[in-house]
Amino acid sequence: MEAGEESSSSSIVPLIDSYNYIKRGEELGLHVRVWEESKKLWGIVGPAMVGRLALFGMCVITQAYAGHLGDLELASISIATNVVTALNFGLMLGMASALETLCGQAFGAKKYAMLGIYMQRSWIILFLCAILLLPMYIFAAPFLILLGQPEDLARQAGQLCLWLIPLHFSFAMLFPLQRFLQCQLKNSVNAAAIVFALVVHVFISWLFLDKMKLGLITAVVTLDFSWWVAVAVEFGYVALGWCPRSWKGFSIEAFFGLWEFLKLSAASGVMLCLEYWYYRILLLLAGNLKNAEIAVDALSVCMNINGWEIMIPMSFFAGTGVRVANELGAGNGKGARFATIVSAITSTVIGLLFWALIIGFHEEIALIFSSSVVVLEAVDKLATLLAFTILLNSIQPVLSGVAVGSGWQATVAYVNIGTYYLIGIPAGIVLGWVFDLGVLGIWAGMIGGTAVQTVILAFITMQCNWDKEAKIAFERMARWGASK
């Protein structure tokens, strides 16, 4: 039996049963319950949004300084951060999301001591993963040349990738820390740490790059340093006594049950990576079209708009995962269902608002990024597809958040493979090349894959037996050592 494991799951008693939840709901009224759930949800979503924008901002600042050094410098740092590092970022972020299932459910069940054990297990798994992914950095130059990048660009990007290795290892520490704090509803700590790191990054970038003119390598080093500042702040908060119930120090128990933990982490990583990489493939496919430069420019504008807006639904992804996991861990299946409904409706309403803005201002949206008449016209033609992409992306992350909170990552990974890579991309290729619809056809086909995925996840969620999921959550905690 695993260290810390109980003899049976029956000794874990649900903290909130369905009868009490329904009775309390009848007493409070629907509008009060919606208000209470919305406050809990936005308590997670708001700080998550701030944190994501701050992390994104650090990369944007570094690229902006690199852009002032020259076109080659901007292109090389963009490839190093947006291709090589982004691939590993997506995988490790996904693997860390296993903690949203385990820590969220343990917190809901008031098994606080296990949160720290789970985080340490995640550190071990992610550091091993980081080591296995090192060849992508070490051999980045020949890899990029193989993909058809110009040799001078590939070699400079490859050099930068070597300097990005410290950033790569910061993922293994930061992502588990963020989920550990997020599942305890310490979301303002996450946001404050990242904002502080952003302030540090702005200052050292100004000092070393603007004033001292130290060059491209220094720009990468400042990014490394700033991410590790965020790690230091969050780890200091945890280790210096502000999480007394959930952090008891380093424990040998973290080395038990790693295989089961690895399987859930791997499923989480695959699930999110398949989503994270999907629309990046759109840009690669567009690069092979006629008039590829205009197509890629127009798509880049649309993807930039989508990239900023998607911070909102991805924050709902985090919020939904935590709320569902907390309620299931507390034995409250009805509460998990209600949290899902409130989150889905809220995110969809926000998505409809942005859909209406894109449709209403389809001729003007590209002016933020370009004044080229040709690009403006190309973006105008793509605006409807952008609007529906944003709308679908307001629903789908919530459903993925439900999957993470419930521990369905492996199932969703299979769904993503089928809908994205066996339906969406082939449909895009057929529409784009066989029917000669170009970038419109590629994107339409890929939206079709997202639509099918959303329908399947919605069906799975609606058919869910939430009381059964609550029992599964308790069995999982008993099996993995939530006895404290």
Residue ranges in 330-437 assigned as alpha helix (H)? 333-360, 373-406, 409-416, 425-429
What is the per-residue pLDDT for 426?
93
The verdict on residue 81 lying in a domain is yes
Examine residue 357 and state whether it is found in any structural domain, yes or no.
yes
3-state percent helix, strand, coil for the chain, nearest multiple of 5: 85, 0, 15
Length of the chain: 484
pLDDT for res 12: 39
| DSSP letter assigned to residue 212 | S
Q: Is residue 428 part of a domain?
A: yes
| CA-closest candidate to residue 112, choices 237, 243, 295 | 243
Residue type present at position 220:
V
At residue 296, the pLDDT reads 64
**175-211: burial string, b at 16+ Cβ within 10 Å, e else:** bbbbbbbbbbbbbebbbbbbbbbbebbeebbeebbee
Q: How far is CA 105 from the centre of its chain?
A: 19
Q: Which domain holds residue 216?
A: 14-479
Whether 166 maps to a domain, the answer reads yes
pLDDT number for residue 293: 58
Is 317 a member of any domain? yes
Report pLDDT for 8. Answer: 35
Arithmetic mean of pLDDT over the chain: 85
What count of other Cβ atoms lies within 10 Å of the Cβ of residue 242?
12
465 neighbors 9 (Cβ within 8 angstroms):
no
The model carries a pTM of 0.83
CA atoms within 13 A on the CB side of 307: 16
Number of domains making up the chain? 1
Q: In this structure, is residue 9 part of a structural domain?
A: no
Residue 83 is predicted with a pLDDT of 67
Residue 335 near residue 483, CB atoms below 8 Å? no
103 falls within a domain: yes
2 located within any domain: no
**390-to-302, 308, 376 alpha-carbon distances in Å:** 10, 11, 19
Closest CA to 395 of 451, 338, 447, 328: 451
Q: CA distances (Å), 191 to each of 53, 198, 212, in order?
A: 10, 10, 30
Q: Which residues of the chain have pLDDT under 70?
A: 1-28, 71, 82-84, 280, 283-284, 286-297, 300, 368-370, 480-484
pLDDT in tens, 297-328: 677 678 778 877 888 998 999 999 999 999 99
**How many CA atoms, within 13 angstroms, populate the side-chain half-sphere of residue 181?**
26
pLDDT for 4 equals 36
